[in-house]
Chain A
Amino acid sequence: MPAGYVGAGFPEATVYRARELHADVIAIDGGSTDSGPHYLGTATAKSARNAVARDLRHILLAARDADIPVIVGSCGTSGTDAGVDWIYEIALEIAETEELDLSIARIYSEQTASELKRYLAENRIHPLEPAADLRPETLDRCSHIVGVLGHEPILDALAQGANLVLTGRATDTALIAAVPLGRGMPDGPVWHGAKTSECGGLCTTKPQSGGVLVTFDRTGFTVEPLGDDAACTPTSVAAHMMYENADPFRMREPAGTLDTSGARYLQADDRRVRVEGSRFESADQYTIKLEGAAPAGYQTMILVGLRSPTVLARLDEWCDGVLTYLHHNIAESFGLSPADYDLQLRRYGQDGVLGKYEPDKSTMPREVGIVFIATAEDQATATQLAKFANPILLHAPLPGETALPSYAFFGSPAETERGQLHEFVLSHTVNVDSPHELFRTLVSVAHA
């Protein structure tokens, strides 16, 4: 695992250690839900294309040098079909300029609402806590839906001779687990080793020094950093089970649940950690998790700087006054009711980050950045609402003030269109008969 995701960057020398270390595969993911619903909703990537191309080029050259396959998961941030094709095009460009012979498998994981409604009708889709039962109209609302694939379609692609596997949305661990599971390594250590290494060097003492190598055997796994100046310690490795996991001991995969509660972490030498005792409980039912993003209106925002000590001392009053005035006058000028649009004032410098959970209500800020956000059914309405708010945000006096103040707009134009908003609406799993049934694999060859 060279890094947490392709495009994150890594010291290039670290991936070229693949041959000297006798690595069997280079695996890296290309995304997750962590960048938010926009990227799934629009099927676009959060990473810069040049950053992805730079990382992928070094990975493919290191893999040729070591004569091993490469697996890239969750392509294009959210693993949509367009995301897989995006990485595929980048790989073809690299193959041409670097004269690589690639047999490329593309595993698509996008789902249609109509097909999923069939599963729903058969009572094969169930909610994950804290979601509610899925309704068919929620599927119809989604711009894009992906199924999160396990290791089996990857293993199948490798068996078909692929030396570059590009997957749609996959569990981060499946990419790493595929090759060792295919070689008959025990599933407890494999899934635990895969989870340990899924963020590259994050399980080491120095994450920025590069990724990690995981070596699996019959009784456990050993993890070591690829960077010379980093080390793995029992604490750095064990603590990684906590990272971005709601439960630090149990992690669900399509085929079952990893249980690390009995794992023992031992310092093997000054850089390597040995882990034994992890278990994997096979589930009675194989399940595929769904992720879906649906449109949630359009936004336009205005950034206003407040420095006036009198306004900052009465900020709640000022904000309440602005919103009350706007709601009243929007009804009159636009004929809209509050159910048709949404207005927010986020007060960066005061409580913009924590909102009502902000514990410090008493410290007076020196300045506050007010982000006004209008959300409406369409972009034109959102922007008209922002333009309507413009003179109020510029001049709103405090209650009782007679002089006309002016506040510090960020620039001209005052308003910035944020485009269409999306929201995550699926947290459900599908009961499938086969690990392959929701996914489609295409294998093609790129010759030097």
Chain B
Amino acid sequence: MTTSLGDLAELVRSKNAGPFWLTIDVFLATEHDYIRARNSLLTDPAHIAAVFEVPASTVRIFTLPNLNAIKVSLPRPHVQGSLRDTDLHGGQQYVPLLAIPVD
């Protein structure tokens, strides 16, 4: 049954990784859910690049099966605290990924 990443995941969070990088962590409750998330667009650099309008070559995706977790890191679309930055700590920038469909 198709659901959304937001409904499937136990926790999705985002934060600065220094002023120039944004990092998004997705924690799943079980190995089964982890595999479902891993098989979704969450691990497709082209999709992440399209959502945040950054080059796909700069998107870094890490799978952590021991933690049932997936990490997505990308250069911040706007550098932290710069004129157009609307989220100083990057803490809300995970939200556009919640709608990713998961089979």
Residues of A within 8 A of B (CB): 33-38, 128-131, 235, 238-239, 242-249, 296-297, 342, 344, 346, 352-359, 375, 421-424, 427
Contact = CB atoms under 8 A, between A and B. Distances in A.
Contacts of B95: 353-354, 359
Contact of B92 (A37, A131, A353): A353
A244 B20 CA distance: 12
B81 A422 contact: yes
Contacts of B75: 129-130
A127 B84 CA distance: 23
Contact of A34 (B20, B23, B84, B89): B89
Nearest to A356: B53
Interface residues of B, number: 40
A246 B73 contact: yes
A346 B86 contact: yes
A125 to B, nearest CB: 16
B92 A242 contact: no
Given A346-B86, A357-B93, A423 B62 contact: no
A115 B81 CA distance: 27
Given A33-B80, A357-B52, A357-B96, A424 B20 contact: yes
A33 B90 CA distance: 13
Contact of B67 (A128, A238, A344, A353): A238
30 contacts: A33-B80, A34-B16, A36-B19, A36-B81, A37-B19, A38-B81, A130-B58, A130-B75, A235-B67, A238-B67, A239-B25, A242-B69, A243-B25, A244-B17, A244-B23, A245-B23, A246-B18, A247-B73, A248-B62, A344-B83, A346-B86, A354-B92, A354-B96, A357-B51, A357-B77, A423-B79, A423-B81, A424-B79, A424-B80, A427-B19
B62 A244 contact: no
Question: Which of A128, A246, A353, A354: most chain B CB closer than 10 A?
Answer: A246
B35 interface: no
A424 B15 CA distance: 17
B48 to A, nearest CB: 12
Contacts of A354: 86-87, 92-93, 95-96
Contacts of B99: 359
A356 B86 CA distance: 11
Nearest to A39: B81
Contacts of A244: 15-18, 23
Contacts of A36: 19, 80-81, 88
